[in-house]
């Protein structure tokens, strides 16, 4: 049923009569959001296929070309409303060759500008000629020195959550799925890749064609252009990276084909054809982004010991939870991420064993507890799985709640009904909701229909507490592992002896060091940190997870000898997860805040806007 506000339609029609082509810049109309985060009126008109033809200009830092929407009319309304932010739209043509008298909505700094395109009842295609501008937050243009090999520039996109609209005019809401194709023209010495069927080597024309025949949501639109090479891992998977570290990437991710087999055995065949991973330059703000067919990943997973590849398990799991079955809105983000953390944990268990999986879970639950402690004070409502992010940046929902509380909820259900029934249920869930979107309420109904067999189970499931309650229900599962126990005992022993014992850490993996560092005494001194550094060589570690915990501790205790490597780390790495705790620890004291601000001034040109924005907020400065 249409919820399109009457007043808006009337106003738009009036403006349509009142102004001619070219006057749209002065004729802005007040357009209400159709969902909590999008102007797109998919209830009236829906994109079924999108065709892009874009040229990549590194000098102007601009994408320019056309976006053609193949559309389906859902009602008799003849207005199509798209999302855009910072896009310069030059012309809109309909498929009969006529020029559409398009208008813009009033600009909103977060949601951008609605593009109102009057259609004819018979219109099947809408063709927009446009270019991006310098504010396009989805695009990160790297100069050669910001790349690994330092030879060529690099471009990558990050569309999630609502940044696709900064490089493509479209309905930027996850419940609109469409297939897409593209023709990308880039400098001849570079290779272009998308979240689609991809080339495996450079050609001489600099022109690449892409096809994504399965319907995806806008936040999964992705493009990368750079000096990129490919190495196959098996017939269905491989890795892309700059040539200078392609071999180490391939070595680190050698378990990928096995992960794909294990994942398919769990919850159904891999649904997207190929699965490849592109390892990006260090400024990529996230661990990974599950762009279909081509995960974008941070180089910080290249630890040299394959200890951080659970991140690939996570992005791979998104091929089912998120990409195949998608959250209907960003309020239901936990349906993407909680399921993915659960699925990731199952893949890790299948490949590396139960204790390793439990160890990862235990460490994450520790993180959730710390997050909850803070959030229950500052924003208790945001500790619900089903969020209300109306009018807010959906990135506010990108917390441990969606990921870890979501994971624990599913773990709780697994324990309630037993793994066998739970796995059958999940297979059914992925089958029924394939290439569809789902919200929290619908998932609750699906549980009632397909999982619970007795009234007692319904009571024990405590769905309302989990989905709509704040904090963590008392009966939440508590994962425990032998490896974590060792790390905990080592930390306890240290609290009494205050002497490092490297023998205790023999054979430890990354996560054990992390747990150890996170459980250091509150009153630890700089001399004691010095002794720890001498024994374990934390400051010189090549492992970003360990470095992050170590520098956070060093910043808190004001351990100066670690500051030079800490600054080098903060300048080199752009992954928000690693930047945030270190800058937060620094900002806890006035002198730390001063140091943090000085480092940020030097480092920020290398950060993606997603990271720069978060850090600027922590430091109370402009990004």
Report the catalytic residues: 315, 403
- Whichever of 100 and 259 has its CB closer to Zn ion, that residue is 259
- Tokens linked to 176: 């609109």
Residue found under tokens 């279909």: 292
Residue found under tokens 């000085």: 598
Residue pair 38/111 in contact (Cβ under 8 Å)? The answer is yes
Residue pair 556/588 in contact (Cβ under 8 Å)? The answer is yes
- Tokens linked to 558: 């004001």
H or E element: which one contains 131? strand 125-131
In the complex, minimum distance from the CB of residue 171 to Zn ion, in angstroms, rounded to a whole number: 23
**DSSP notation for 64-124:** EEEEEEEEEE-SS--EEEEEESS-EEEEEEETTSPBP--EEEPPBTTTBEEEEEE--TT--
Residues 333-352: x where in contact with Zn ion by CB under 5 A, - otherwise, as a string: ----x--x------------
- Whichever of 152 and 405 has its CB closer to Zn ion, that residue is 405
Biggest CA–CA distance in the chain, Å, is: 82
In the complex, minimum distance from the CB of residue 336 to Zn ion, in angstroms, rounded to a whole number: 7
Piece of 119-127, 331-339, 376-384, 586-594 that binds Zn ion (CB under 5 A): 331-339
Nearest residue to 604 (alpha-carbon basis) of 582, 585, 578, 579: 579
Residues 6+ apart with CB under 8 A from 507: none
In the complex, minimum distance from the CB of residue 341 to Zn ion, in angstroms, rounded to a whole number: 7
Residue pair 101/14 in contact (Cβ under 8 Å)? The answer is no
In the complex, minimum distance from the CB of residue 271 to Zn ion, in angstroms, rounded to a whole number: 17
d(CA 565, CA 569) in angstroms, rounded, equals: 6
In the complex, minimum distance from the CB of residue 337 to Zn ion, in angstroms, rounded to a whole number: 5
- Whichever of 322 and 479 has its CB closer to Zn ion, that residue is 322
d(CA 550, CA 516) in angstroms, rounded, equals: 10
H or E element: which one contains 323? none
- Whichever of 111 and 334 has its CB closer to Zn ion, that residue is 334
- Whichever of 289 and 603 has its CB closer to Zn ion, that residue is 289
Position of minimal CB gap to Zn ion: 340
- Whichever of 119 and 360 has its CB closer to Zn ion, that residue is 360
In the complex, minimum distance from the CB of residue 290 to Zn ion, in angstroms, rounded to a whole number: 6
In the complex, minimum distance from the CB of residue 148 to Zn ion, in angstroms, rounded to a whole number: 24
Q: Among positive and negative, which fits the CA dihedral 254, 258, 263, 268?
A: positive
- Whichever of 337 and 358 has its CB closer to Zn ion, that residue is 337
H or E element: which one contains 289? strand 288-289
Peptide bond connecting 106 to the previous residue in cis, omega within 30 degrees of 0: no
In the complex, minimum distance from the CB of residue 398 to Zn ion, in angstroms, rounded to a whole number: 9
Residues 6+ apart with CB under 8 A from 601: none
d(CA 441, CA 142) in angstroms, rounded, equals: 42
Q: Considering CB under 5 A, how many residues would be counted as binding Zn ion? A: 2
Q: How many Cα atoms are found within 13 Å in the side-chain-facing hemisphere of 577?
A: 17
How far apart, in Å, are the Cα atoms of 521 and each of 247, 373, 500, 525, 605?
41, 19, 13, 9, 36
d(CA 472, CA 85) in angstroms, rounded, equals: 37
- Whichever of 218 and 340 has its CB closer to Zn ion, that residue is 340
In the complex, minimum distance from the CB of residue 269 to Zn ion, in angstroms, rounded to a whole number: 21
- Whichever of 230 and 343 has its CB closer to Zn ion, that residue is 343
How far apart, in Å, are the Cα atoms of 4 and each of 18, 172, 330, 471?
21, 17, 21, 36
d(CA 556, CA 539) in angstroms, rounded, equals: 15
- Tokens linked to 174: 């996850």
**Positions in the binding site for Zn ion (CB under 5 A):** 337, 340
């Amino acid at each position: 049923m249409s919820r399109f506000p009457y007043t808006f339609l009337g106003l738009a029609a009036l403006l349509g009569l009142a102004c001619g082509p070219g006057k749209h810049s002065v004729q802005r109309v007040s357009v209400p959001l159709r969902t909590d985060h999008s102007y797109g009126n998919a209830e009236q008109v829906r994109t079924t296929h999108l065709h892009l033809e874009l040229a990549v200009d590194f000098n102007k830092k601009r994408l320019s070309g056309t976006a053609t929407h193949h559309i389906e009319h859902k009602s008799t309304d003849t207005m199509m409303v798209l999302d855009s932010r910072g896009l310069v739209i030059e012309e809109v043509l309909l498929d009969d060759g006529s020029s559409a008298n398009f208008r813009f909505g009033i600009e909103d700094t977060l949601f951008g500008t609605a593009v109102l395109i009057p259609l004819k009842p018979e219109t099947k295609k809408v063709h927009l000629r446009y270019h991006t501008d310098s504010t396009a937050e989805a695009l990160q243009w790297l100069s050669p020195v910001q790349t690994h090999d330092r030879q060529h520039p690099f471009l990558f996109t990050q569309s999630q959550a609502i940044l696709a609209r900064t490089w493509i005019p479209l309905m930027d809401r996850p419940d609109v799925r469409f297939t897409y194709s593209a023709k990308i023209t880039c400098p001849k010495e570079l290779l272009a890749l998308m979240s689609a069927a991809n080339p495996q080597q450079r050609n001489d024309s600099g022109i690449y064609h892409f096809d994504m025949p399965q319907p995806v949501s806008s936040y999964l639109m992705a493009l990368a252009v750079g000096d990129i090479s490919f190495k196959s891992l098996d017939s269905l998977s491989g890795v892309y990276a700059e040539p200078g570290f392609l071999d180490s990437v391939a070595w680190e991710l050698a378990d990928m084909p096995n992960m794909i087999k294990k994942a398919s055995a769990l919850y159904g065949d891999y649904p997207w054809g190929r699965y490849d991973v592109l390892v990006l330059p260090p400024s990529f703000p996230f661990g990974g982004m599950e762009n279909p067919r081509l995960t974008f990943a941070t180089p910080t997973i290249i630890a040299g010991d394959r200890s951080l590849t659970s991140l690939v398990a996570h992005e791979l799991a998104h091929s089912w939870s998120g990409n195949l079955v998608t959250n209907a809105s960003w309020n239901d983000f936990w349906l993407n991420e909680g399921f993915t953390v659960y699925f990731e944990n199952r893949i890790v268990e299948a490949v590396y064993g139960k204790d390793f999986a439990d160890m990862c879970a235990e460490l994450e639950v520790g993180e959730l507890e710390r997050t909850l402690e803070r959030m229950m004070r500052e924003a208790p409502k945001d500790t619900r799985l089903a969020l209300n992010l109306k009018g807010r940046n959906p990135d506010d929902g990108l917390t441990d709640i969606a990921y870890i509380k979501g994971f624990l909820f599913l773990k709780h259900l697994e324990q309630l009904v037993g793994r066998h029934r739970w796995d059958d249920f999940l297979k059914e869930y992925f089958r029924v909701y394939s290439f569809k979107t789902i919200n929290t309420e619908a998932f609750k109904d699906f549980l009632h229909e397909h999982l619970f067999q007795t009234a007692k189970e319904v009571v024990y499931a405590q769905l309302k507490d989990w989905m709509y309650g704040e904090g963590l229900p008392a009966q939440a599962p508590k994962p425990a592992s032998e490896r974590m126990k060792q790390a905990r005992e080592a930390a306890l022993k240290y609290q009494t002896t205050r002497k490092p014992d490297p023998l205790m850490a023999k054979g430890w993996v990354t996560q054990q060091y992390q747990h150890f560092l996170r459980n250091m005494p509150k009153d630890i001194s700089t001399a004691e940190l010095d002794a720890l550094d001498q024994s374990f060589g934390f400051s010189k570690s090549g492992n970003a997870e360990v470095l992050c915990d170590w520098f956070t501790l060093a910043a808190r205790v004001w351990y100066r000898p670690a500051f030079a490597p800490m600054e080098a780390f903060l300048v080199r790495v752009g992954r928000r997860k690693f930047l945030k705790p270190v800058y937060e620890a620094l900002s806890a004291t006035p002198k730390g805040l001063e140091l943090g601000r000085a480092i940020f001034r030097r480092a920020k040109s290398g950060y993606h806007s997603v990271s720069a924005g978060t850090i600027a907020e922590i430091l109370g400065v402009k990004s």
